[in-house]
Amino acid sequence: MTETTADRILKALQPLGLKRESEDKYRSNSPLRPGSNSMGFTLTCR
């Protein structure tokens, strides 16, 4: 099976503690603000 762009993005963001909210939505602390703990960053992969 070929790795998709979404697979590569999700893999790269795993150190941020990415949590799956639904089939295509994920949430984590902001990668743009060191020390962020708000879980305010959302990612949708379609």
- The domain containing residue 29 runs over which residues? 5-44
Q: Which residue has the tokens 């990612």?
A: 43
pLDDT band at 44 (very low <50, low <70, confident <90, very high): very high
State residue 43 phi and psi, 5-degree precision: -135, 130
What is the distance between the alpha carbons of residues 26 and 28, in angstroms, rounded to a whole number? 7
Partners of residue 42 on adjacent β-strands? 27
Residue type at 31 in one-letter notation: P
pLDDT for res 20: 93
Sign of CA dihedral 31, 15, 45, 38: negative
Q: pTM of the full predicted structure?
A: 0.72
How many domains, in total, are found in the chain? 1
- pLDDT (tens digit, 9 = 90+) per residue, 2-39? 999 989 988 998 888 899 999 999 999 888 888 888 88
Element (H, E) at 26: strand 25-28
